[in-house]
Every structure is written in C-alpha cells, then in structure tokens.
Structure 1
Amino acid sequence: MLRKKGLANCKIKILVLFLITAFAIKIELVPSQTKRYVPVGEPLMLMCKVTGCESPSFTWRTQLDNPLGGKVNTRGPESNLTFSSVGVENEESYICTGYCGNSKLQKHVPVRVYSFSSDPVIETSKPLVAGQKATLTCKIPKVYPSDFLEVTITKDGKIRKGQIDTSPIISTPSVSYEFTPQPEDDGKEISCEAYFDLEELQPELKTRRTTEKLNVHFAPTNTVISSSSSTVIEGDALTLTCTTESNPPARVVWQKQLPNGEFQQIAEYQNITIPEATYNDSGIYKCEVKNDIGTDAKETKVTIQASAVNVELLPSETQVLAELGKPLVLTCKVTECESPTFSWKAQLDKPLGGKENVQGFESNLTFSSVNKQNENSYTCMVTCDGRQKHKTVSVMVYSFSSDPVIEINSPLLTEQKATLTCRISDVYPLEFLEVKLLKDGAIIKEEFFHDKNLPEVVYEFIPKSEDAGKKVTCEAYFNGPQDTPKKRSTTRELSVHFAPNGTNLLVFPYNTLKEGESAIISCSTHSFPAAKYILRKKSKAEVQVIDHQNGTYKIDKVDINDEGTYECEASNDVGTEKRNTTVLVQVPPRNTTVSIYPSNEVTEGETVTITCKTYSKPPPKITFKKVEPGSGRITCFENGTFILYEVTQNDTGKYEIEVINDIGNETELIDIHVLGKHNNLFSFSILLIDYIASSFIVATLGIVSSAIYIGYKVWQRKLSGTYNLVDPSTAAK
C-alpha cells in the first residue's frame, strides 16, 4: 500500500512482503504488484510482516547476494529495509526470510528505478552563419533507463526523430540535427521534445520540451537610402537615412564622392543631417554597411538648388566658441529682401536663453553671460515674400581659465605613503581635458576625463630622501577647437621630510692631534627639516655634553684631556642618527723616572740594570749614553730597560738617558761608580773589625772565620741599600 509519510517533499514507497504457507504462519505483502518504479534519489522502504508467530526473526538479502545498500530495522513482527536515496545500484530483487521456530518462509520483491528530471538542452557547434552548415544538438541530462526515451527535433513544422543509444547507467543522451541556416531563419523557433515512455509515470511527467529562437548571423542586405525631401533649396535642411537588415547589427559609414572620383568618409551614423544645405553639398553620397559577416553599399545623388534670398550669420563660422561667463552676440543679416521677418529657434525646442533684437535687415540674439545651458544649435529663420530661408550656427561653450593647483595631503615623510592631487577648476567640457603629472620632466601619470565629474589627478607614492628638492609639474591640456587656450601648468618643489642620514663626524686637521695644536670637531648630516646636533665626549667615568655651534666644536689648544671618543647625535622630528669618532692626543715625554739595580755603586764584574719609565704619546724612543766626548749612543729595549753586564771601572761615570718622540724629549742624568776588587777587600776588613769590636767576641779561629763571613754579607747588603743581620742569640746556638 502506497502512503504519504509526514514530510511533504518525501515520498516513501512501502512494499510489504508476505509469505503464505500451509500453516497458520504467514507473511503479508502490501501492495501485491511485483513491478514498481522509484525515481532516482527518492527514499524507499520495504516492509516485511509476519503474522501468526509471537517472536519471529528476519533476514534480508538480494537475489544475487550483492550488498543491501539499505538499513534494516526489525521491531516485533515487522522488519523494514530502508533506502535514504535510491540509485541505479539498488535495482535488485530483495528477499525477506521470516523464521518462526523451525518454520522458514520467504518472499522477494523486485525494485526498479528511473531518472527523467531535466528539460532538454539545445546546443550548436558554433555560431550560426547564413549559408554555412551547422550542427544542432539536443541533450537530455540524467536519463535512466534510456530505453524508454524518444527525442524529436521540430523546425518549421518538420519533425526529426533521433536514435538513442542504450546505457546501463544514468546518462545524457543526445540527438544531432545538421542544416544550413539562411537569413530568414533568424528568429525562428526550434524545439526539442523528450518523451519518456514509462507506463507508471503520469502523462504530464512523460514529456519535457525546450524551445529556442535561432540566432543566425548574416551579412547586411536590403540596404536603402531615403531623403527627408525630394527637392532641396539652398539654405534648407537635408537629412539622409540609411537602413539595412543584418545580424549582428551593421556599422553604418557615410561617404561623399570627391571631384577626383574617390570617396571620403564623412560620418558614422545611420542619419546624416545638413542644417543649411549649400550648392557645395550637391554630389553623390554612399552608405556602406558592414558587420563581421559581410558588407553592402548603396549610393544616392543629391542636388541643391540655388536661392535668391541671402541670409548671413555672424560670426560666420558654423561653430562659434563662447567662453563660460562672457557675453556673446549672434547676428543674422538678410539681403535681396525688402521686408524680412526674423525668428530664432534653439535646437530640441529648448529656451533661447538670450535676448532678441531686430533692427532693419538684421536681428541679434544676445547672451549677457554664457552658461552651459546656452550650448546648443541656433537657427535664424528669415521669411521673405512667403518663402523661408534659414541659417544655423552651433554654439560651443568652453572654460579653461585657471591654472592647476597641486595639493599634498600631509607633510611628505620618507617611506610613508603620500597622496598628491592636481586639481583643475573651471573646466568645460571635461572631455577635452588631458592632465599630465611630471616629476623632474618625466611623466609619472597621465589621465583623460571623458566620463569623470571631478577634474583632478590623484597620485599615490612613497617619497624617498632623494626626492627632496625635485619638482612636480601638473600640465593641463585643453584639446578643444583651434581658438581655445591649449595649456596651463603649475610646478611645485617637493619638501620631503626625512631623518638624518649619511651623518659624518670629522676631526680637522686629523684624528691624531699634537698637544698644543688647534682642532675642529665637526658634525654634518643630510636631513629635512634641518637636524639639531648634540656633541658628547665619552669616557669610562662619564659622558660629557659639549657646547658647539651648529655641530662644530673648536679646541684652541689641544691637551691630553681632549683625548677620547666623541659622539654626534643628529635628530629632527622624523628620526635620529649617531656617529662616533676617536681623538688621540700626542704629548712629549714627561714624568720620567730612572731606577738602578742593585745600586749606582757596584763592584767590578757585577751586572747593573737601569730602568726608565715615562709617560709619552706616541711611545718614545729611549737612548742611553755615557757623557764623555766620543761616546756612542746605546739604544734601549722596547721596555725601557738597559743592562750593563760585568761592569768594569771603565764604566764609572755620568750617563745620559734621553726619552724622545715626535712631539718632544726629556733627559735624565745618572752616576754609576764601579769599585775595584781590592777596594772591596779593604772595606770588608774595616767592616770586620767594626763588627768584632761591637760584638766583643774574640774566640777561636773558627769564631773569627764566622765573623769574617758575616761581615762580608753585611757589606753586600750595604751596597744594595739594605742589609739584614743574623740574631746574636741564634748565632750563639
């Protein structure tokens, strides 16, 4: 039994299987028909119900033992097999087996699906061109099974049936139709009808139809030229119209034959109008029409007849230039007419906007201040003896009276986006305006103003420090008629704010200075706005800020205190940059000291070490010489130490130590006295006697020998300036 279950768009078809046996147990099948088609994509539920058994059990399978593809749900005496979305793969015979004790009953039901859900689609192999063979294809998407499908194509009442190939899956069958389109086929209808001959399908669902109009491209044909008047007298208006049939629409080009027989293009409109025809407008006119498919052309001869009455409009040009806001007078004069009457008319029946004034054989139309609404064509109509003659003049209003104005949205900062705008005011009409932006003579932007309301050019850029001082020029060109002004320009210099860069901290004359010299420490940088400077002198102990004049610090006399590291800090409102330099001060030797070891009085054979210490920049050269004629200099080692090995009495004398560098020198004198060995023994004996007398020890020869040894040691200590006696109590022991 087929039911609607809950949701409006969800049709669930329920097939109930029942098994009949010779016993009281049975399976019901509702409905009883064994063939049922289900649309692809719709849900389906198969219901199997056992009666006459308290606790039946169920199994489901397909006849070919394929996967079920659905969900089984058993509850009491019922078992349901549910498919959420039926597909071709679900076309099977499904078998439900019911068990009750030792009894086993089963039935099967076949499931069939179909798909016929989309209207036909009509396609052509290429754009249809008259006279060229084309193929039209009708496709029917998502069809299954294709055996039930019939397709017919109808054109001009003729029916063509197509052969459909059988497919085991959902497919898109198609039928093709070859024909050669003609111009008269353009706009005709062609239909594709798909009929799905499935018996169970409702009649209104068995047929789907698509109808489209043919779009046939063909060259221009049936071209015709028509004239607004068969007789044209000089001064009358003349309009020629060219019509044709084509697809796509044709481009119309009007040409006039020159005296040499060649044709010259004069317009590209369907209609050409000559407001006041003259004899020179006579001649042969040709209308040429063309599109992508082909070309057609027609010619006509125009004859302009002369008129005795002469009408003249001043200014005499067919187009008069009038500057916005300035006065303008149009004058209409007539000759060869005794009693003329005048009237003025604006094209499209707009108000004249000016004041009429007739004086005898002329009429003036005066505009005290021309505005944009006065841009129009004005016709002076003269009536003389019942005959009319007219002249028309076109007034073009323009304005180009102000130089461009260059504006910058904010101060220019390096590496920050900026906007430069060039505005041109009081320009009309805008389609004549062309604006160029140039930087140092090179074009950086060019713009035309055909459809813009604001006559301005906006240029976004990121300034760089090298842009400072460069000139930006805005040139405005007014490409209007010949007598209008052509060019206006404005130039502005770029003021780019940028942080200090390329900062230099220099010392004059050199970074290495001599004590007492004059020096200049100068800091300079490249920045805008101008940088402010801070000079500092750094040392381990402190940082000292130095007074200066715009980054320059003068030292009249350099001394050692001026030595050190100097720092320059250059800063403005954009940023800061620092630079360091080192100043070295050279001074002559000073505070020189000399030490002699072991003493300046030594015995022959001993070694004497003389050490010289001084303060000097740069490091000095130290020389050592004996002060007596003919003595040579002895250069010291780098550490300022001199060594005299195994001195003799000849080494006794005065010695000069000279400390010298590029700045100056300092000299020290020392005395060295070398004693002979006998002098040493005599001195030793005296010391021994003094020691014996002072100690009151006169003992054995061994005691005397000890005293002699002790005395000798005392003597040696005395020579070096220090000595150390042995404790008597210790010696006695």
Structure 2
Amino acid sequence: MGRIIPSVTVLLLVFVTSKAFEIKITPEYVAAQIGDKLELTCSTIGCESPSFSWRSQLDKPRGGSVTNNGNSSILTMDPVGIENEQEYLCCALCDNVKKEKSIKVDVYSFPSDPVIEISTPLNVGEKASITCMVPKVYPSERLKMHLEKDGSVLEMKEFYEEGITETTETKSLTLTFIPTFEDIGKAITCVAQLPIDEMEFEPKKRQTSQRLSVNFGPQNANITVSPSNTTMQGETLMLTCRTTSNPPARIVWGKELEDSSVQHIIDKDTLIIPHAQMSDSGLFICEAMNDATNKSERTTVVISVQDGPRNTTVSVTPSTTVKEGGAVTMTCTSYGNPAPKISWTKHLISGELQFLSENATLTINNVKAEDLGLYECEGVNQFGREKKTVDLIVQVPPQNTTALISPSDNVDEGENIAIMSTTYSNSPPQTVPQKIHPSNTTILSSQNDTSRRYRVIKNYTGIYPVTYNETGNNTDVIEIAVVEMVKETDYTIIVIVVLSCLSTMAIPALAILVYMSRKAKINGSYSPVNAPKPNV
C-alpha cells in the first residue's frame, strides 16, 4: 500500500494542475454605448505567464488596442464605434495548452435627453409647431417617441419602418397645433424610448419637459381713476391702465383733441394730473400694445374737471356804438363745467333789471333810442356765477332843431346878435350857422355851442343854423333883417390936422414973447417994435 499511495498522489496533483488552467473574460456581458470607452479583460488561472491573442469571430478588423500584463490581457476600445459590435475571442497559451474564451459586444447610442424646439413664438390662435429631437441614436429603427401634455399623448412615432442603418442618426417628431389660452403655462413633454430587450443598459427611456409660453395680445384693458373721473379744479388725478397680456403690454396714454387727433402724453401704466384744470377735461385713451404679437387694445375714460363760471366775456358786433335803426348782436361766452347757463338782462333807469333772454346771443334789430343802456350777461352753474356788462350807445341824429335870435331878427348893421339853437340827439351835435348863396356857401365861425354872438353885417340876411352829428343833421331856418348904416363926412381928422399945424407955429411965437417980456423987465419997458432985431 505504501507504494501505491505516492503514485495516486502524483496523479491527483497532475489532475489538479491541469484543472487549474482556466481563462475568463470580464465583464461577462457587454452593451457598450457608442462613444464611450470599453475595456475587455481576458485573464487566466493556473498559468503565471500565458501568451494572449485577440481576434474577432468573423475575421473583421478587431478595432481597439491590446495591453498584456502577466496573466491578463486588456482589449481597449476608445471610443466604441459601430464597428465594435461583434463577437471577440481571447486565446491564452500556457505550456502548450491553449484556452479560448469569446464575448459578444453589443453597441447602442442613446447619449442624451430629447431636445424640444419651437418653430416660432407661440401666439394664441396662430398655427405653430413643436419638434422633439433625439440626437445620435443607434439603432434608430428601434426608437419610439411621443409628445404629451398633462399626461395626454398628442403625437407619437415609431421608426422601425425606416429600415436598419449602420450609423447614428438624429430622429425627430413634430407636432403642429394652434395654441389656445388653455395652453398657457402647460408643460409639453417629449418621451423617447430605445426598448432593446436583448440588451441591458440604462436608461432606455429619456424625456424632456418644457412649459409653454404662449403670447397673446392685450385683453380686458381697463382704467381706474382716483379719486374719481369727475373732480373739482385744482385736485390731483391718478389714471391707471391695466391689461392682461403675454409678454406684458406696453402702455401708452393719449388725449383726444378737438380735431379728433390724439395727443401723446406718456408711455407708462399710470398717468398723474396734478392740479387738474378745466382744460384737462376730455377723452383720455389708454392703448395697450404687445410688440410680440403686434396686437393692441384701446380703452377710454372721460375726465370731467368741474368749476364755476370763469373768463366770462361779451363780444359786440358790429360795435358797442350803433346808429338808430341799425342792428347789433351781443354774444356772451362763459367757461365752466358743467357749461354755465347764460342769461341776459338790462339795467333800467329805475335800478331794476329787465330779463331779456337765456340765449348766449342777444340780437336787437331796428335799434331805437330807448335801447341804449347797460346790458348784463351772467353765466351760472351749481358751482358759482359770473357777470359781465356792456354799455350800448345808440347814436341818434339831431331832431326837433329850433333856433332863436336875440335881441331881435331885425337889427342894424354892426350890432351884436346871439343865435341860440336847441335840438335832441346822441351824440351831442354841432351847430353851424350857414348862409346859402347861389354860387357858394358861407359858414359862420360857430361850433359845438347852442349860443353864439355875432356882429352882423349887411349880407347876413338869410342865415340859418345847421345842427349835425356823425349820424345825421337837422336844420331850422332863421331870417335876419339887417338895416344898412348911413355913411356921414367925418370932420374930426381935418380939425386934428389944423390944430396940429397951428400948434407948430404957436410954440416959437410964444417963446419970442416970453423972451421979450423978460427983456423989458430988465430995461424997464418992452415994445415989440423997439425990440432989437436979432443978428442973423
């Protein structure tokens, strides 16, 4: 027995040693994504320094690089390509013992989540499209896609009918629809699946969601006014315009003018009017504009700034001075809100007011003298009253002209007379006594008085006064009888001349007599005969 046991031991050791030489490949199953890095490790057991070799079963290009290290060999594919989809065989040779191990490499490409693209900005009521794209997918014929909203599938597609491809492809699914208001803010989801049951990889399902931003033009624009759209002059008004729009609308304020054009005021939601005036009354327009949809909406509000009558004026056509028998129109204008009620009255001599009209325009046809006087226009509303007066002057031509002569209409030539005239007129008349000759007109120097004094001459017979003003004239004929003065010889001048001559001769004679008298007194006697003659 002792001899048999060692032999059995040797046989057992040989058996154990041959059993221990094994080969394996890790990982045991491979589903590699195209573009990734893949390492296949072939290792042996029971052999310290085996020799390795790698090849493909179908004698295709191996693809990849080999690194041997002791009892292992690594086949590296970086990056993995479609050409790497095949069965690889690892051969290990140890002490003339050859071992082989194969592994099937499956490749796929599903590298990223779907991408959602919207063709144009979504506008309510306008046709649009949403496209879901899955890039670099392989095998693309196994891909399934669908678009859903709030869990409801809107569109789906399978690509198996497109045939087998040997490259990665980008596949897409497009949904055409018309957005509604209900779509605003809803999430659209693109789901892509690569359901390859014979391959184990994750993920086999990818999805992307995006909330829908749907543009729509301004809606339900409204204006609020604080404190009220009816206010008193001097208060501050705040007008605010609001609307629903996506994207938010741009607000523009304007005011309608009398010619129906619109005056731009401000680009802002809120319009503030400090110290409102009556001129601020009118139609204010809020225009909400959405530039994304190129749509706009208008809303308006009427602002009424109230106040009592102001700036009351009266215009008179043709003038405040009118001729008797003519026509005059007086127009009263008063500003206020509410519009003042106009009334016309006339101030009577008694001090009372005579009501005339409630029209803004007062017309008097065939004006009479009694129409002159002070007219009053009054504007009245519940916030106050204001008056304006105008003095109407009626021009009346002279009437009932009479003339008197004092002291008498029979006077001697050279005497003074006074011509007095009376008349009724407006404005005051002028009196011009005239004498009419067949060939010319003689006008005496008399104006603006009713009494004038004249030194009459012979040809004044027939003078009569004329009274007139800018409206007309009126006459009263007077007859003046002038008695002609008789002319007599005037001796006064002759007497004066004779006396003057005598005086010139008497003075020298008198001087001689005085001289001789004094001489006689000196000599004791004097005689003109005996007087010595002067020396010549």
Give the TM-score normalised by structure 1: 0.39
Do structure 1's residue 419 and structure 2's residue 232 form an aligned pair? no
Counterpart among 349, 352, 356 of residue 546 in structure 1: 356
Q: Pick from 455, 464, 474: which aligns with 2:287? A: 474
The answer as to 2:478 corresponding to 1:667 is no
Tell me, in whole angstroms, the C-alpha distance in 2 between the residues paired with 1:592 and 1:644.
20
Q: Deviations over 1:195-244 (max 9, x none)?
A: xxxxxxxxxxxxxxxxxxxxxxxxxxxxxxxxxxxx9989xxxxxxxxxx
Deviation of 1:309 after TM superposition, in Å, equals 5.3
* 1:456-605 aligned within 5 A: 457=270, 459-468=272-281, 472-477=285-290, 484-490=292-298, 492=300, 496-497=304-305, 502-524=311-333, 530-541=339-350, 542-547=352-357, 550-572=359-381, 576-600=385-409
Alpha carbons of 1:380 and 1:520: their partners in 2 closer, same or farther (altered >3 Å)? Answer: same
Pairwise CA distance, 1:532: 3.3
CA deviation vs aligned residue, 1:701-728 (integer Å, no higher than 9, x gap): xxxxxxxxxxxxxxxxxxxxxxxxxxxx
1:321 positional shift: 4.3
| Equivalent residue number for residue 451 of structure 2 | 641
- Superposition pairs of residues 201-220 of structure 1, within 5 angstroms: none
Shift, 1:422, TM fit: 0.8
- Relative to structure 1, is the Cα distance of residues 651 and 472 closer, same or farther in structure 2, using a 3 angstrom cutoff? same
CA spacing shift, 1:370–1:662, aligned 2, 3 Å = closer
Match of 2:206 among 390, 407, 420: 390
Are 1:532 and 1:572, in contact at CA under 8 Å, matched by a contact in 2?
yes
C-alpha distance 557-232 of structure 1, shift in aligned 2 (>3 A): farther
One-letter code aligned to 2:465:
I
Secondary structure (helix, strand or coil) at the match of 1:384 reads: coil
Q: CA deviation at 1:533?
A: 2.2
Equivalent pair of 1:327/1:369 in contact (CA under 8 Å): no
In the alignment, is residue 622 of structure 1 matched against residue 431 of structure 2?
yes
Partner amino acid, structure 2, of 1:380: V
* Higher normalized contact order (CA 8 Å, seq sep 6+, divided by chain length): 2
CA distance in structure 2 between the partners assigned to 1:576 and 1:596 by the alignment: 58
Change (3 A) 1:419 1:446: closer
Identity across matched positions, percent: 24
TM-aligned CA deviation for residue 588 of structure 1: 0.9
Contact 1:371 1:397 in 2 (8 A): no
Equivalences for residues 192-591 of structure 1 within 5 A: 308=109, 316-317=117-118, 321=122, 323=124, 336=139, 353-356=150-153, 361=158, 371=182, 374-376=185-187, 378=189, 380-385=191-196, 386-387=200-201, 388-398=204-214, 400-403=216-219, 404-408=221-225, 409-411=228-230, 414-425=233-244, 427-428=245-246, 432-438=248-254, 442=264, 444-446=266-268, 457=270, 459-468=272-281, 472-477=285-290, 484-490=292-298, 492=300, 496-497=304-305, 502-524=311-333, 530-541=339-350, 542-547=352-357, 550-572=359-381, 576-591=385-400
Cα–Cα, structure 1 residues 370 and 446, in superposed 2: closer, same or farther, change >3 Å?
Answer: closer
8 Å CA contact 1:353, 1:367 repeated in 2? no
Shift of 1:518: 2.4
For residues 407 and 155 of structure 2, the distance between their equivalents in structure 1, rounded to whole angstroms, comes to: 139
Match 1:658 to one of 466, 478, 501: 466
Instruction: Check whether the contact 2:316–2:328 (CA below 8 A) recurs between aligned residues.
Output: yes
Letter in 2 for 1:616: S
Q: 1:86-97 to 2 correspondence within 5 Å?
A: none
Distance 1:443 1:652 in 2: 83
User: What's the CA shift for 1:504?
Assistant: 3.9
CA shift digits 1:503-525 (9 cap, x unpaired)? 44222222221111222222345
Match of 2:293, SS?
Answer: coil
CA spacing shift, 1:396–1:460, aligned 2, 3 Å: farther
Unaligned runs of 5+ in 1: 1-230, 235-305, 346-351, 448-456, 479-483, 679-733
1:626/1:372 CA distance change after superposition, 3 Å: closer
- The 3-state SS of whatever aligns with 2:428 is coil
Contact 1:622 1:640 in 2 (8 A): yes
Alpha-carbon distance between aligned partners in 1 of 2:181 and 2:435, rounded to the nearest angstrom: 115
Distance in 1 separating the partners of 2:449 and 2:389:
33
Cα contact 2:146–2:154 (8 A) shared by 1: no
Task: Give 3-state SS (helix, strand or coil) of 2:370's partner.
Answer: helix
Q: Is the CA contact 1:435–1:477 (under 8 Å) kept in the aligned structure 2?
A: no
CA contact (8 A) 1:537 1:545 kept: yes
Shift of 1:335: 8.3
In 2, distance between residues paired with 1:327 and 1:568? 70
Secondary structure of residue in 2 paired with 1:561: helix
Q: CA deviation at 1:424?
A: 0.1
* Cα deviation, residue 384, structure 1: 1.7
Give the Cα–Cα distance (whole angstroms) in 2 for the partners of residues 485 and 330 of structure 1: 22
C-alpha distance 602-486 of structure 1, shift in aligned 2 (>3 A): closer
The aligned amino acid for 2:323 is K
- Output the amino acid matched with 2:118: E
Does the C-alpha gap of structure 1 residues 552 and 397 become closer, same or farther in structure 2, counting only changes over 3 Å?
same
Q: Which has the larger radius of gyration?
A: 2
TM-score (norm 2): 0.51
* CA separation of 1:488 and 1:611: change in aligned 2, threshold 3 A: same
The Cα shift of 1:589 comes to 0.4
Q: Which AA in structure 1 matches 2:344?
A: L
Aligned partner of residue 415 in structure 1, secondary structure: coil
Note closer, same or farther for the CA distance 1:598–1:443 as it changes in structure 2 (3 Å cut): closer
Aligned equivalents of 1:411 and 1:309: distance in 2?
Answer: 69
How many pairs align?
A: 352
Distance change in 2, residues 1:475/1:370 (3 Å): closer
Q: State the Cα deviation string for residues 167-199 of structure 1 (Å, max 9, x = none).
A: xxxxxxxxxxxxxxxxxxxxxxxxxxxxxxxxx
Amino acid aligned to 1:446: K
